[in-house]
Every structure is written in structure tokens, then in C-alpha cells.
Amino acid sequence: MSQTILVVDDDESNRVTLERLLGREGYEVHHAATVREAMERLRAHPADLVLTDLKMPGMSGIDLLKAVRTLDPDVEVVVTTAYGTVETAVEAMKEGAYDFVAKPLKRLELVTTVRKALEKRSLQVENRRLREQLAEVGEGEVIGQSDVMRTLIAEVEQVAPADATVLLTGESGTGKGRIARMLHQLSRRRDRRFVTVNCAAIPESLLESELFGYEKGAFTGATQRKEGRFDLARGGTLFLDEITEMASSVQVKLLRVLQEGEYERVGATETLRADVRVIAASNRDIEKEVEEGRLRKDLFYRLNVIRLEIPPLRDRYDDIPLLAQHFLVKFNRKNGTSLQGFTAEALEALAAWPWPGNVRELENAVERAVVLCREDRIDLDDLPAAIRKGRGARQRISFEVGTPLKHVERRMIEETLRSTGGDKVLAASLLGITARTIYRREAEWAQEEED
């Protein structure tokens, strides 16, 4: 849908000239000869930008500017006049004009000013829309409007009320913990505790006692009984993150809990009943972990009652503006800042980056930008260098059916290197491989060409 401009000038030839000029740029243009007529048109047909002469019979362009601000503060106003002085320019800017252009108008200057003013208007509207969407998101809810996330959220809402074990899979940083919490908050256990255990962060020798607790004297240093995570989560939900990092000996005991609902604390003989819902997660290829013996097959079957795959951020690019605005609000609050949003260049760069670190990487990038930003909006220069360099790196490359795999690989690597200006480390990050692999492939190609 084209943007709408209202041209206000008491000179008919000027109105016609501007209508033709801006119409050729793709804008929908209306015009008015007086301030009163302009306000009537704005009430009947809202505009995105008002381009008004400063000196007109009766009420002036400054009067119109004040009236427009009352009617719709988001409408941008550009003032034109043949009587341009520093004083009138300052007055117009103080009243909220986007810019001041002197007559005789230069086509390039005018079109550039109008385009920038409309870009600002679009960003204001988009940022307000994002804020309104975020206001509708409750605490702990998953943020996402893309088709793939709508499907996932619908699955979560269907699965949450049941007590079945859920297995969450997906790359690191995709938000598996947030999905787990959403499952809890939508379940009948929502009023009890949600307890998280990161199996990769707890030493193998301590994981069993962390999960099941221990009795006084169970081992050196056990001076009193300690409840485990199954005790703490009783009646609620236990989230086991990075489940494939769990030692085989602990897997056996977890399997018993899932099969029989029973466990003992370390050093105890009393059998306790487990009243928890278990949600497990892994960022690894879970079937490969089972095949290679790192995850017991019988435990996998018990965990895999309901499987939810969390999509990487590169498969949900439509969510990037909404997520970025969410993190902006979060870090504004944390740092006591009041940034209003992102420039078009910054949003373009965020949309072009493939986000190998997923949502967590986006969150870190926005936090950094909030700290470094010196204007009212985050700009391209506020983003991490890799994202600035990788701008435009995301593109489609097509191949004919039957293209040899080694040719596909070479083309992908070469095109990515071209996009990153030859930066092998950045290219490797984009492709999900190591820089060493790129060096090795280049050596192989050079050898093939010599042969």
C-alpha cells in the first residue's frame, strides 16, 4: 500500500507540480489550497506526511503544523518556503516539523527529505505496533507471530493440560526453557513450583544427590538431610535441561521414576513417591545420542512421549522485529534508558543475519546496542561488528536437481565468503562449520585445479 502525502500551497501551479513529482515516486498525493481545507481533508483522508508552504493567506504553515500535531502526532510535516530564514526554520522545527526546505525546490533534495520523513513515520508506526503486541503478551508467554511459532504455541496449548512427559529438542539458544515454563504455566500444576536442573552444569558425582536428595551421613560432608529437586518440585514441574549430559548411572534411576514413580534419597532405604511432571530438553541430535549410547534407549522412549521441536531463529525471521523490541524494552528498564526503537538500517541488518546463536544471540546483541546507543534509536553502528559485516549475507542460492554434492558445497562456501568480504571466521559461523574446514576445502579445490 502506497504512502499518502498531502500538499498544501496557495499557488495552484506549485500544487500541480508537486503532485506530479511525488506521484512519479510512487506516493498517493492529495492537495489543498488553505489550512482550513487541509484540515478537512486530513479528517476525511488521513495522510502519512504533510508538505506545506510556510507563507499562505490567512493561517500559515506554522498554524497548520500545530493543528496537525493535535490531530495526529505521528504525521510528519515538511515545511517549504521562498522566505527561508534561520528564524523561521528554528520556529518550524520547534513546533515539530521534520525538516525545512527552501524554494526554489530542488527535486533530489525534496524527494530525499520526503523519503526520510516517511521512513521515520513508518518506524514510529511499526514500533508502536510492536509495543502494542508486546503489551498483549503475558509474563512468561512465548513471543512469536510467525507461522512456525503459531503452530508450536498451538501444540504447547494442547499438550500443557496433560501430565505426559515432554521432550523439547532444538538448537542452543532457541528458547527451550521458555517453552518448558509455558507448558508449566498452562498446566494444572501451575500453582506449584517449576524447578530447573541443568544436567550439564552439575558434576556427574553430584547430579544424583541433586535430583533425589540425600540423608545425613550418606557421604563425607552430608551433615544433615537435604531434599532433592524431585522433592522441591512435588506437585509441580521438573525441567531437566541438557538431558543427554546425564551420566548413565543416573539415567537408570531417572528411568525408574518415570516408569514406577518411585525413588530413594542417597543413603536412605525409604521409598518416596514422585509427584512431578517431567519436561526434558536437549540441543543435540537426540537419535544420534541414543545410537551412540550416550542416552539409554529405554529412557529415550519414556522421555519421548510428546516431542516438540523448537525452531531456530533463522526459520522464524518474521519474529525478529518483535523479539528485538521485546529485548529493547527489557534492557531499557534494566539500564534506565528510554530508547524508542530501531532505525531502518539496524532492522535490515538484524533481518539479514542468520543468528547461529538464535534468540539468545539476538538478546545479547540488543543489550549491547542499548548500552552503546547515544541517539533515541538503535542504529547500524550500535550493533556487533559481525552483524554489520554480515548485512545482506542471507540470500537464496538455487541448484538444479542432480548437482553433485561437492559442487553444492563449494558454491555455498564461495558465495558466503563473497558476502562476508572474504572473512573466513564469519563465513564459517554463518555456515555452521569451522574456519579450518574452509581452509581445507580451498586447498582441495586448488589441488583439483592443478590436476
Q: How confident is the model at residue 234 (pLDDT cuts 50, 70, 90)?
A: very high
Min mean pLDDT across 46-60, 130-144, 352-366 is at: 130-144
Residue 389: helix, strand or coil by DSSP?
Answer: helix
Span 326-349, mean pLDDT? 89
- Provide CATH code, domain 314-389: 1.10.8.60
140: number of Cβ within 10 Å? 12
Q: Per-residue confidence at 85, pLDDT binned at 50, 70, 90? A: low
Confidence at residue 128, expressed as pLDDT on a 0 to 100 scale: 67
Q: What is the rounded average pLDDT for all residues in the chain?
A: 85
The answer to which of 72-81, 124-133, 165-174, 338-347 has the lowest mean pLDDT is 124-133
- Which whole-number Å values give the CA distances from 136 to 34, 140, 142, 143, 342, in the listed order? 42, 12, 11, 10, 21
- pLDDT tens digits, residue range 13-51? 888 888 888 988 889 889 888 888 888 888 888 889 999
> Could you give the angle at which helices 344-352 and 320-335 cross, rounded to 10 degrees?
120
Around Cβ 210, how many Cβ atoms within 10 Å? Answer: 18
Q: What whole-number percentage of the chain has pLDDT above 90? A: 37
Residue 139's pLDDT is: 45
CA atoms within 13 A on the CB side of 242: 13
Tell me the CATH architecture of domain 4-134: 3-Layer(aba) Sandwich (3.40)
Residue 392 has pLDDT above 60, yes or no: no
Q: Express as a percent the part of the chain with pLDDT over 70.
A: 90
Domains of the chain, by residue range, sit at: 4-134, 147-309, 314-389, 405-450
Q: What is the CATH number of domain 405-450?
A: 1.10.10.60
CATH topology of 147-309 equal to that of 314-389?
no
Instruction: Identify which of 74, 65, 134, 57 has the alpha carbon closest to the alpha carbon of residue 333.
Output: 134
Confidence of residue 86 (pLDDT cuts 50, 70, 90): low
Cα separation, 402 vs 405, in Å, equals 8
- The residue-averaged pLDDT of 412-433 equals 74
Q: Residue 188, SS3?
A: coil
Higher per-residue pLDDT: 155 or 53: 155
The pLDDT-based confidence of 300 (bands split at 50, 70, 90) is: very high
- Which of the four pLDDT bands, split at 50, 70 and 90, describes residue 429? low
pLDDT computed for residue 40 by the predictor: 86
Classify domain 147-309 at the CATH topology level: Rossmann fold (3.40.50)
Average pLDDT of span 329-333: 90
Prediction pTM value: 0.62
| pLDDT, tens only, 238-267 | 999 999 999 999 999 999 999 999 999 988
CA distances from 158 to 45, 109, 151, 187, 252 (A): 44, 56, 11, 10, 30
CB 80 within 8 A of CB 108: no
Is residue 399's pLDDT more than 50? yes
pLDDT tens-digit readout, 99-157:
888 777 888 888 998 988 888 888 777 766 666 555 544 445 678 888 899 999 999 99
Q: Which of 89-93, 224-228, 238-242, 284-288 has the lowest mean pLDDT?
A: 89-93
Q: Is the dihedral of CA 426, 427, 433, 437 positive or negative?
A: negative
Q: Cell numbers at residue 95, please?
A: 513546533
